[in-house]
Structure 1
Amino acid sequence: MSERVIIPRNLGFLFIDSHPAGCARVVNDLWSAVVPRPRGDGDDDAPVALVIGSSAGYGLAATVAGLARAGIRGVGVAFEKAPTERRSATAGWYRTAATAELARAAGQDMRFLNGDAFSDGMKEQVGDLIEQRFGRLDHLIYSVAAPRRIDPETGVTYHSVLKPIGATARTRTLAFDDDGKAEIREAVTEPAGEEEIVHTVGVMGGADWERWVTYLAGRRLLADGFSTAALSYIGSPLNAAMYRQGTVGAAKAHLEQTARTLDARLREHCGGRAVTSVNGAAVTQSSMAIPGIALYTGLLRRVLGDGMVSPVDQLSELWDQLTGVRPLQTDDEGRVRLDTWELTSAVQDVIADRWDAATTDTVSELADLDWFRDSVRQLYGFSVPGVDYSIAVETDIPWPAD
């Protein structure tokens, strides 16, 4: 037993420990927020899905929405750290344990593997599990955010960077001082070099997604009508210099080109489809690393309130389209657009005005700082309603077993 009271300790938006009970409650609340739809008569009729990046952010939303709404069974892949004597496990470890428990209680066969999704070894492990346990794969959701990737073919290690392309970027950022007071600061980021662009595309572009689909197709595991979606983001013009027009944007452009290539191949191979799903802004562990996103999401929440569409609601819509409940709707670039609620001119014009007007003295009136703080803390299981943080909790929770 490793019970202790866990006190939130953080460096900026990163927390040193995670709270198991809080993380579990977050997952339970996500599940409860999903509107289920009628299920088939037997488990053999349930769609088989693979979610790569299943423990956090939109990948977690895809997993929970897939289970609670679409009734999927299958495999989730994540890369999380186990608890130690000095530290809790990562938040994704506890979220995965909670997701597995909910799936088990619902009678759904969902297995979770912990390891490097970029490696060929993980692809083989997943392929074996699908072949032996499920026999086919109907859907693949790709949602991986990582700082580096080792190319299995060349052994080259690629390192991603968040930088603009072509010119120095200056963007407004939201930060909090030691007393928790919000401050508006300016972040200055120098442009990326050519090698940094190549490296970022090597990590966050479509190369690994394509390797997954090619590998599973080579093992004849793709069902007729197989569909796959890689999760993406376009974002506001306010953060374009650091995102869509920067190194990450180059990677997303590569991801979208990969979708078009895979779509043509899958149509011929199994009557399948490949798309990117462009999702809306959200507070996630990966998005908080992007300068300007913290301020932007706080402003967005103040403008829209509950009109912000949650990741789990967006992914419920995606599952409806992938499973044929609704037609698969794409834009001219072959992308499913789940971000239209965010990018209307009416919304963006108001946010742009607030962005320009925000100062350290006024930001608390223009942005929803309480919601933002709670959302960041909830990524690690803190500030979750209904959890008593004065009580010691067990931190040594095992990874879900087969």
Structure 2
Amino acid sequence: MSKRVLTPRNRGFLFLDSHPAGCERLVADMWQACPDSADVREGAGPVALIIGSSAGYGLAATVAGLKRAGIRGIMVSVEKAPTERRTATAGWYRTAATADIARTAGRDLAFLNGDAFSDEVKNQVAGLIERRFGGKLDYLVYSVAAPRRTDPVTGITYASVLKPIGQANHTKTLVFDDQGVPEVRAVEAAPAEDDDVEQTVAVMGGTDWERWITFLAGRDLLGDGFATAALSYIGSPLTAAIYRQGTIGAAKAHLEATARALNERLAKTVGGRAVTSVNGAAVTQSSTAVPGIALYTGLLRGVLGERLVPPVHQLAVLWDQLTGAAPLTLDDDGRIRLDAWELADDVQAAVAERWEAATTDTIADLADLVWFRAEVQRLYGFSVPGVDYAAAVATDIAWPALHAPTPMGCGGSQRA
């Protein structure tokens, strides 16, 4: 087993390698941070499918689902294996760590590494539900952020873009040089043109989510009362032009319309429900690619400090509402809102004031840059407290095998 001393090497917010021990510790810390639930008991838990389970809110959904709801089931993501020159992707190591936690907790999770848009993966999932998980699915959480999607029926590949609609957007963004010195830079995003909106909606809208539900229903795999949630974001007026009112926002609107249609359909067929869950801001590999989001998130943390709610706490609330442990609370558009802490008027007013004042000279006093830079590094397993980064670590960690499930009672309690 090869061992290496790994140091962070990056181009902007993208890192060339990931740290296995840091990723493992990060998942363990998420597990410890997620509140326990008295409703999780010994025995078979509900069967869940989480699509996009290895990063960001999808990872939080997986960890919180284990801790709060005692889920078993199937986790789907796309990650790259280690090579002689490169480590595996961070999501690969996070998945291995999540599998270890699930085994210790006595929960049967199967992890698939493949394109969730493809019919091949859908068939793999269906087969596992039929053979390993009793033939019925209770929950599906959809958390997919992708640059492109190939339609398995037509073979057409669509590409998503981050662009405003109607006119160019002038905004501020936060960057760091090679020495970590921050700069607030003015940027311009050209408006969407041609079929940019349609392409982005085809990738990031509700089309694939609906295909999953239709496919599983066609195989008679949806249990009575089946519930599904797609994870979404609205965000601040400060970033609305490039996000909620831009091409990605059009895709999110399509996702929400899909939820309303699916909700009506599932209510009639299995007494079920479909919702979107609007989450609050977080530093993720997807969010750092959006112009202005890095600056906004750093300023938000500067205002809120420790009151900024981490994803695993938000997803614990989502699982409580999906399972009935807490009342289901929806807004007028049928969405679960987990972002009230972020969009409170006083918080947004304070962030807006700092946004106006933010320059390269003032940013260190207005934003929590130490936290933000550490959060970016933690996406790749670096800057995680308690990890010895001077020590060599094994990088060729195996993907969790699709082993036969451990019988409940023989693998330990479902609570660790």
SS of the equivalent of 1:153 reads coil
Separation of aligned partners in 2, 1:138 and 1:349: 41
Q: Does 1:118 align with 2:117?
A: yes
Partner of 1:109: 108
1:88 aligned onto 2:121: no
For the residues of structure 2 that align with 1:362 and 1:3, how far apart are their CA atoms? Answer: 42
CA–CA separation in structure 2 for the residues paired with 1:163 and 1:121: 32
Counterparts in 2 of 1:102 and 1:264: CA distance versus 1, 3 Å: same
Give the corresponding residue for 1:138: 138
SS of residue matched to 1:302: helix
Matched, 1:177 2:177: yes
Work out the CA distance in 1 between the residues paired with 2:334 and 2:107.
Answer: 32
Tell me, yes or no, if the aligned pair for 1:74 and 1:110 is still in contact at 8 Å: yes
Task: Judge which range, 172-181 or 370-379, deviates more.
Answer: 172-181
Q: Deviations over 1:136-160 (max 9, x none)?
A: 1100000000000001111110000
Contact 1:266 1:272 in 2 (8 A): yes
In structure 1, the residue matched to 2:228 is 228
Alignment partner of 1:360 is 2:379? no
TM-aligned CA deviation for residue 328 of structure 1: 1.3
Paired residue for 1:6?
6
CA distance in 1, matches of 2:280, 2:385: 24
Aligned to 1:78: 77
Deviation at 1:315, TM superposition (A): 0.2
Deviations 1:200-251 (A, max 9, x none): 0000000000000111111111110000000000000000011000000000
What's the counterpart of residue 389 of structure 1? 389
Q: Distance in 1 between matches of 2:269 and 2:356?
A: 51
Superposition map of 1:297-316 within 5 A: 297-316=297-316
Spell out, residue by residue over 1:302-330, the C-alpha distance to the aligned partner (whole angstroms, 9 max, x if none). Answer: 10011111100000000000001012111
Post-superposition Cα deviations, 1:188-208, rounded to whole Å, max 9, x if no partner, equal 010011411110000000000
Name the SS of the counterpart of 1:342 in structure 2: helix
1:43 aligns to what SS in structure 2? coil
In the alignment, the residues of structure 2 paired with residue 194 and residue 300 of structure 1 have an alpha-carbon distance, to the nearest angstrom, of: 35
Shift of 1:69: 1.4
**What amino acid does structure 2 have at the position aligned with 1:217?**
A
2-structure distance, mates of 1:326, 1:382: 36
Counterpart of 1:264 in structure 2 is 264
User: Which residue does the alignment assign to 1:49?
Assistant: 48
What TM-score does the superposition give when structure 2 sets the normalisation length? 0.96
Work out the CA distance in 2 between the residues paired with 1:31 and 1:97: 14
Q: One-letter code of the match for 1:382?
A: F
> Letter of the aligned partner of 1:123 in structure 2?
K
CA positional deviation for 1:41: 5.1
Instruction: Flag structure 2 segments of 5+ consecutive residues without an equivalent.
Output: 403-416
1:7 deviates by: 1.3
Contact 1:55 1:96 in 2 (8 A): yes
Q: Counterparts of 2:56 and 2:208 in 1: how far apart (Å)? A: 19
Q: Is the 8 A contact 2:40 2:68 kept in 1?
A: no
Post-superposition CA distance 1:26-82 (Å, at most 9, x none): 0000000011112555433x1110000000000000000000111100010000000
Partners of 1:228 and 1:274 within 8 A in 2? yes
SS at match of 2:249: helix
Measured in 2, the distance between the counterparts of 1:264 and 1:275 equals 11
Aligned partner letter, 1:226: F
- Report which stretch shifted further, 33-42 or 176-185: 33-42
Q: 2: CA distance between counterparts of 1:252 and 1:116?
A: 21
Sequence identity of aligned pairs in percent?
69
In 1, the alpha carbon distance for the partners of 2:194 and 2:29 equals 44
| Number of equivalent positions | 401
- Secondary structure in 1 matching 2:343: coil
CA 1:41/1:182 → structure 2, altered by over 3 Å: closer, same or farther?
closer
Supply the distance in 2 between the matched residues of 1:130 and 1:42 (Cα, whole angstroms).
Answer: 21
Question: Which residue is 2:18 aligned to?
Answer: 18
Mapped contact 2:280–2:342 kept (Cα < 8 A): yes
Contact preservation (8 Å) 2:41, 2:70:
no
Question: CA separation in 1, counterparts of 2:299 and 2:7?
Answer: 29
- SS at the partner of 1:6? coil
Q: Which amino acid aligns with 2:99?
A: A
The separation in 2 between residues aligned to 1:283 and 1:42, in whole angstroms, is 35
Counterpart amino acid of 2:347? V
Q: Residue in 2 aligned with 1:66? A: 65
- Aligned equivalent of 1:199: 199
Maintained 8 Å contact 1:36/1:70 = no
Rounded Cα–Cα distance in structure 2 between residues aligned with 1:285 and 1:214: 30
Instruction: Tell me if structure 1 keeps the 8 A contact 2:137–2:222.
Output: yes
Query: What code does the residue aligned with 1:66 have?
Result: G
State the alpha-carbon separation in 2 of the partners of residues 96 and 186 from structure 1: 37
Q: How does 1:322-341 map to 2 (within 5 A)?
A: 322-341=322-341
- Residue 178 to residue 147, structure 1, CA distance change in 2 (3 Å): same
Is the CA contact 1:206–1:256 (under 8 Å) kept in the aligned structure 2?
A: yes
Which letter does structure 2 place at the counterpart of 1:96?
A: T
Partner of 1:29: 29
* Amino acid across the alignment from 1:373: R
CA RMSD of aligned residues (A): 0.8
1:369 aligns with 2:377: no
Deviation larger for 174-183 or 335-344:
174-183
Aligned pairs for 1:283-298 (under 5 A) are 283-298=283-298
Moved more, 32-41 or 161-170: 32-41
Equivalent AA in structure 1 for residue 114 of structure 2:
G
Cross-structure match for 1:38: 38
- Local SS of the residue matching 1:69: helix
- Distance in 1 (alpha carbons) for counterparts of 2:57 and 2:238: 22
1:219 aligns with 2:219: yes
Q: Hey, what does 2:163 align to over in structure 1? A: 163
The answer (yes or no) to whether the contact 2:40–2:69 under 8 Å persists in 1 is: no
Alpha-carbon distance in 2 for matches of 1:382, 1:31: 18
